[in-house]
Amino acid sequence: MAVRKITEYPENVLAEVGEPVTKFDKDLEDLCADMFETMYDAEGVGLAAPQIGLSLRLFVMDCEGIKLIAANPEIVHTEGEQSSQEGCLSVGKVPAVLKRPMKARLKAQDLKGEWFEREAEGYPARAFMHETDHCDGRLFIDHLPKLRREMVIKKFKKEKNWK
């Protein structure tokens, strides 16, 4: 297992629609182990393959008791509304308030290629949507109004320069 380098905005891979996962083998298992390690190292609750430079529809998460691997994820149902802070490891964790549905149902394949569905509410539902977005080349800041998006990017760049 290894901690991988996290790709950051505005690297191209973060804006690409990922390729579907087609091989459910040992390589995929090893990749997911690396993704978990990278996520925990960065103290995140979710990490998608494009965030380690791979244009693949795959994410891992461990958020409020929901720990899973999702290959070829889709959000098949949403309900309600929540408005709270969201951040992203690829945008320096700079937080911004973002409205999202309160509940979300995720459909995806596990390491063996078996399809499953999982429902979540609140923070883990937000993670389902945030990570599925990554697989489709979308960042959370893409959902923000222009001015707020620019503020997040400005703050992120500033923080990077301090390092």
Indicate which residues carry an active-site annotation: 131
Closest CB to Zn ion among residues 95, 113:
95
All residues at 6 or more sequence positions from 153 whose CB lies less than 8 Å from its CB, including other chains: 9, 91, 141
Nearer to Zn ion, 63 or 88 (CB): 88
Options 63, 88, 96, 152; binder of Zn ion; rule CB under 5 A: 88
Half-sphere exposure of 127 (CA within 13 A, CB side): 26
Q: Which residue is nearest to Zn ion (CB)?
A: 88
Closest residue by Cα to residue 134 from 80, 54, 69, 62: 54
Q: Pick the stretch among 13-21, 52-60, 82-90, 108-116 that binds Zn ion (CB under 5 A).
A: 82-90
Q: What is the number of alpha carbons within 13 Å of residue 143 lying toward its C-beta?
A: 20
Give the range of 21-29, 84-92, 98-106, 144-152 binding Zn ion by CB under 5 A: 84-92
With beta carbons less than 8 A apart as the criterion, state whether 49 and 55 touch.
yes
Q: How far is the CB of 88 from Zn ion (least distance, A)?
A: 3
Neighbours of 81 (CB within 10 A): 10
Q: Which stretch binds Zn ion (CB under 5 A): 16-24, 58-66, 81-89, 154-162?
A: 81-89
- In the bound state with Zn ion, the residue whose beta carbon lies nearer, of 49 and 88, is 88
The binding site for Zn ion (CB under 5 A) comprises 88
